[in-house]
Amino acid sequence: MTSSPSHGRKRILSGAKPTADSLHLGNYIGAVRNWVDMQSAYDAVFFIPDLHAITVDFDPAELSNRTRVVAAQYIAAGIDPDKSIFFVQSHVPEHAQLAWALNCITGFGEASRMTQFKDKTQKAGADAATLGLFAYPTLMAADILLYQTDLVPVGEDQRQHLELTRNLAQRFNTRFGETFTVPEATILKESAKIYDLQNPTAKMSKTGESPNGSIQLLEDPKIAAKRIKSAVTDTGTEIRFDLEQKPGVSNLLTIYSSLTGKSVAELEAEYQGKMYGHLKVDLAEVMVDFITPLRNRTNELMADPAELDRLLARGAERAREIASVTLSQVYERMGFLPSLRLAGVR
């Protein structure tokens, strides 16, 4: 088997597409924050899947700007490019190269069963769906398998893609010889799900109906505070966690707990006998304290794009050191003639 992480720590890998002008609070609490926490215990690889971002309609100028902003936001949120390998997918050509090899061992029917493809095709219309969208899961498998990844922290919606990745790894290993680590999904907890502030039964999303429903991590902290204060709450007055009866208040409690580290039970006790307004005013303050430094740090990084690009270039170089080893083994085992480039001469 190829280079598993050398120093005994398990390797984790994850990524989130640059498909919005800013990460929102749901992305942070549901994903980025966990990745930041995992950096010390694991050998971590994080990347921005820009090749995946073009599988649906996109605008080139927007894509490059979004890729930079999201990169800056990850670093501002605590992804440490010294601790973790952090890079942009398109900077590491091995992703597209391995994806092609995997396409050729993936059944057409197998790929057709991916529910995300079916959903997106339905939404965009069959004519708008591209081969790229169809091959999204095999590119994702390549992302994971190139790095001999042990664990992939993702949301529940990615479980089927992970299952396909495991199947492809096993299939390749059986047919061509042990090459890939078979990764496991670590599905992020449902408790970390953040809901829309205006419609608290829908998840906070970049495509929510009302802009007031989400908190963008790059927005003016005053606006974020306002959105908390005008969040929809429920009938009754009691501040209690109850997703069924009190989705609005429960969502505020989850956010509050996530940003302060206080447990929901502690917060319930603290706010016993108080009004929704008290909770909102306090949480608005917590939000301002959270967003202000994050936003300042993001803006600082954005103000020096050359430095940001240098950090990303270094990340891509570190990624290629691992990815090129895996790809050359794959090519060799599949019977491709060795090329000078693959032998390490660039």
- Decide which of ligand LTN, ligand ATP, none touches 26; Cβ closer than 5 to 8 Å per partner kind: ligand ATP
Tell me how far the alpha carbon of residue 42 is from its chain's centroid: 17
Residue 27 or 84 with smaller CB distance to ligand ATP: 27
Among 33, 193, 226, 262, the residue binding ligand ATP under the rule CB under 6 A is 193
206 belongs to the binding site for ligand ATP (CB under 6 A): yes
- Are the beta carbons of 153 and 192 closer than 8 angstroms? no
Considering Cα of 134, then 53, then 187, then 311, what sign does the dihedral take?
positive
Among 12, 31, 53, 308, binds ligand ATP (CB under 6 A): 31
The size of the interface with ligand ATP (CB under 6 A), counted in residues, is 17
| Candidate list 203, 226, 229, 262, residue with the active-site label | 203
Q: According to CB under 6 A, which residues from 154 to 173 bind ligand ATP?
A: 154-155
Burial of 269 (0-12, 13-18, 19+ CB in 10 A): exposed
DSSP strand pairing (11-15 vs 43-48): parallel
CA–CA distance, 186 with 294 (Å, rounded to integer) = 27
Q: Which of 2, 12, 13, 16 binds ligand ATP (CB under 6 A)?
A: 16
In one-letter notation, the amino acid at residue 241 is F
Task: List, in sequence order, every residue forming a beta bridge with 13; answer none if it has no partner.
Answer: 45
Closest CA to 81 of 44, 28, 52: 44
Cβ contacts of 333-337, under 8 Å, gap ≥ 24? 333/176, 333/177, 333/179, 334/101, 334/176
Tell which residue, 276, 274, 278, 294, has the closest CA to residue 224.
Answer: 294
Which among 10, 83, 193, 206 is annotated as catalytic? 206
Please confirm, yes or no, whether 10 is among the known catalytic residues.
Answer: no
Q: Which is nearer to ligand LTN, 50 or 282 (CB)?
A: 50
Query: What stretches of the chain adopt beta strand conformation (E)?
Result: 11-15, 43-48, 85-88, 151-154, 184-187
Positive or negative CA dihedral for 265, 268, 270, 272? Answer: negative
Tokens of 310: 């240098």
Shortest separation between residue 168's beta carbon and ligand ATP, angstroms: 21
Which of residues 5 and 18 has its CB atom nearest to ligand ATP in the complex? 18
Binding site for ligand LTN (CB under 6 A): 13-17, 49, 52, 140, 143-144, 152, 154, 158
246 included as an active-site residue: no
The reply to whether 26 sits near ligand ATP by the rule CB under 6 A is: yes
206 is catalytic: yes
Q: Look at residue 194 and give the partner it binds from ligand ATP, ligand LTN, none, a contact being a CB closer than 5 to 8 Å depending on partner kind.
A: ligand ATP
Angle between helix axes 276-303 and 305-334 (nearest 10 degrees) is 80
Q: How far is the CB of 342 from ligand ATP (least distance, A)?
A: 33
State the binding partner of 152 from ligand ATP, ligand LTN, none, CB within 5 to 8 A by kind.
ligand LTN
Q: Would you count residue 204 as binding ligand ATP (CB under 6 A)? A: yes
Q: Which stretch in 202-210, 225-233, 272-280, 336-344 sits in contact with ligand ATP by CB under 6 A?
A: 202-210
Task: Give the residue at shortest CB distance from ligand ATP.
Answer: 30
* Residues acting as catalytic residues: 120, 203, 206
Give residues in contact with ligand ATP (CB under 6 A): 16-17, 26-27, 29-31, 154-155, 192-194, 203-207
